[in-house]
A and B are shown apart, each in its own frame.
Chain A
Amino acid sequence: MLAHNGIIILLTLLLALIASIIPMPLSVDAFRPDWVLVVLIYWCLALPSRVNVITAWVLGFILDVLLGSILGVHAAALAISVFIIAENFQKIRNFSIWQQSIIVGVVAALYHLLVFWIQRFLTDVVFLPSYLYPVITTIILWPWALFLLRKIRRHFQIK
């Protein structure tokens, strides 16, 4: 994991984790993009041999601890979402940036629904449309994240 500047991958993932728990005003908080998912998807598309389902699961587990949810909920949802990307990385790589954005949006929606379904199964939570607001910001975030992370990858020559 650490060879060829792999530590940079870990650093970006760590920053994504921090970004997903940074305190925000309640009105903005509903629109918080899925930082961890976006960064994971990028690395999974770029270097599928280094970042895969297991990485996603471990990050999801840390997210569970950070968010105080039942252990395993975010882990499972992230793993399934990243699995879809990992299975189709060769196709998705060749799409245009807008098509990629839409795919990332769909995967983010799936991720949120998965988390909701598991929570619904375990406790009596009720669905609110606001649970899917992050999907919109995630779609907007994707091109920028792609641009920035690609720059990081080329600069540090991460292979």
Chain B
Amino acid sequence: MSPIFKHGPSARHRLLLVLILSIFLIFFDHYISSFETTRGYLQSLVSPLQYLATAPKRMMTWTAENLTSRQDLIEQNQRYKVDELLLREQLMQLSMLEKENTRLRSLLASPVRKETRKMVAEVIAVDSDPYTHQVVINRGANDGVYEGQPVVDEKGIVGQIQNVGTISSRVILITDVTHAVPVRVSRNGIRMIANGTGHIDTLIHNFVPHSTDVRTGDVLVTSGLGGKYPEGYPVSTIIKINQDETRAFAQLYSKPVAEIDRLRYLLLLWTDEDNVSAKQSNVAEVELKDKDAEALEQQSTDTKKANQ
């Protein structure tokens, strides 16, 4: 084992070998996405590491939760009771409205909306890589999680499932540069695409004409056009409109409604029980990326692209 006499291939050959390997991996992972299932297995393999890494944090939250004062608990309880009262009142209204809606829909012979299955998940790890916005949750294939499944928190859309392991899975957030959500303005129903920017608090909307009726403060909700995110969940609010007439399109920026930077408990939604097996169509939306400013009709085509 003396380093004076080298044995095996030289460092240069080794480097060449691993670089070629890397190029193959990058090519097959990024351009062909042929590692989707393998990534699931790899995710399961490394999940013990992730559990180990989050153990100190979990211990701290556990102690923090167990060492709260009586006074705090009483106050919290009081607050929850008030909240519950208010929410229950809304629920009564909602169930009434739901019945009415179903009745009206059946009168109009349009399909009745189905109840969706939900599951609570906890965030176990957040990526430290600045180039991707992803979190890992403690639900996996054992719980019936599937790729492309929408994930929300108590405020709005958070993202969708990217890889599924057996006991954990990876969620890509709406602020990731490679992610886009089809949305509409809840005030007037104008359709747009919300692209991630890589900044935790900004989404960008490309190819919106200057004449579009959008104001700052408008709430954007999912349009349901992608067939992936269920309709009507809040995504973001418009914070900045840059109407520079020298540009072909207005520049719109919005801020996610969900608190992307302080996620803890998430809700997984099963959008359509019949559609669960249709996994193949899920990749397109994540990869949706506008290359250049194309034709003026881009907005509508973009929507279609996102909807595949």
Q: Is A22 an interface residue (CB 8 A)?
A: yes
Number of contact residues on A: which range applies? 35 or more
Given contacts A21-B50, A68-B134, A86-B11, A75 and B129 within 8 Å (CB-CB)? no
* Chain A residue with the shortest CB-CB distance to B135: A68
> Which candidate, B35-43, B71-79, B92-100, is the interface stretch facing chain A?
B35-43
Q: Which residues of B contact A53 (CB under 8 A)?
A: 11, 14-15, 18
Given contacts A83-B15, A123-B177, A71 and B53 within 8 Å (CB-CB)? no
A123 touches B128 (CB 8 A): no
* A33 CB → nearest B CB, Å: 11
Q: Which residues of B contact A50 (CB under 8 A)?
A: 1
Given contacts A47-B3, A67-B129, A68-B132, A18 and B18 within 8 Å (CB-CB)? no
- Please measure, in the bound complex, the distance between the C-alpha atom of A128 and the C-alpha atom of B200, giving whole angstroms: 14
Q: Which of B12, B25, B49, B57 contacts A18 (CB 8 A)?
A: B49
Q: Which of B25, B53, B125 contacts A75 (CB 8 A)?
A: B25
* B40 CB → nearest A CB, Å: 11
Q: Is B170 an interface residue (CB 8 A)?
A: yes
Quick one: which of B39, B53, B57, B170 has the most chain A CB within 10 A? B53
B54 touches A4 (CB 8 A): no
B14 touches A52 (CB 8 A): yes
Q: Which residues of B contact A86 (CB under 8 A)?
A: 11
Q: Which residues of A contact B23 (CB under 8 A)?
A: 72, 76
Q: Is A131 an interface residue (CB 8 A)?
A: yes
Q: Which residues of A contact B111 (CB under 8 A)?
A: none
- Please measure, in the bound complex, the distance between the C-alpha atom of A66 and the C-alpha atom of B132, giving whole angstroms: 12
Q: Which residues of A contact B54 (CB under 8 A)?
A: 22-23
- Please measure, in the bound complex, the distance between the C-alpha atom of A137 and the C-alpha atom of B198, giving whole angstroms: 23
A65 touches B50 (CB 8 A): no
Q: Which of A30, A47, A87, A128 contacts B11 (CB 8 A)?
A: A87
Q: Which residues of A contact B261 (CB under 8 A)?
A: 26
Q: Which of B7, B18, B39, B53 contacts A23 (CB 8 A)?
A: B53
B128 touches A24 (CB 8 A): yes
* A153 CB → nearest B CB, Å: 14
Quick one: which of A71, A115, A131 has the most chain B CB within 10 A? A71
* B131 CB → nearest A CB, Å: 5
A118 touches B26 (CB 8 A): yes
* Chain B residue with the shortest CB-CB distance to A121: B26
Q: Which of B17, B42, B130, B289 contacts A65 (CB 8 A)?
A: B42
B1 touches A68 (CB 8 A): no
Flag A55-89 by CB within 8 Å of B: 1 or 0 each.
00100011001111111110110011001001100
**In B13-57, which residues have CB < 8 Å from any A CB?**
14-15, 17-19, 21-26, 29-30, 35, 39, 42-43, 45-46, 49-50, 52-54, 56-57
* Chain A residue with the shortest CB-CB distance to B162: A68
B14 touches A125 (CB 8 A): no
Q: Is A130 an interface residue (CB 8 A)?
A: yes
* Chain A residue with the shortest CB-CB distance to B41: A65
Q: Which of B1, B56, B125 contacts A49 (CB 8 A)?
A: B1
Q: Is B266 an interface residue (CB 8 A)?
A: no
Q: Which of B26, B50, B127 contacts A72 (CB 8 A)?
A: B26
Q: Is A151 an interface residue (CB 8 A)?
A: no
* A59 CB → nearest B CB, Å: 11
Q: Which residues of A contact B129 (CB under 8 A)?
A: 67-69
A68 touches B170 (CB 8 A): yes
Flag A120-157 by CB within 8 Å of B: 1 or 0 each.
00111110101100000000000000000000000000
- Please measure, in the bound complex, the distance between the C-alpha atom of A73 and the C-alpha atom of B178, giving whole angstroms: 16
- In the A-B complex, the 10 residue pairs with the closest CB atoms: A72-B25, A76-B22, A67-B129, A57-B18, A72-B22, A72-B26, A71-B29, A53-B14, A68-B134, A71-B25
Can you sample 23 A-B contacts with CB below 8 Å? A14-B49, A18-B52, A20-B128, A21-B49, A23-B54, A24-B128, A32-B128, A53-B15, A65-B45, A66-B50, A68-B170, A69-B131, A70-B26, A71-B26, A72-B21, A72-B29, A75-B21, A83-B14, A86-B11, A122-B26, A123-B131, A123-B289, A124-B177
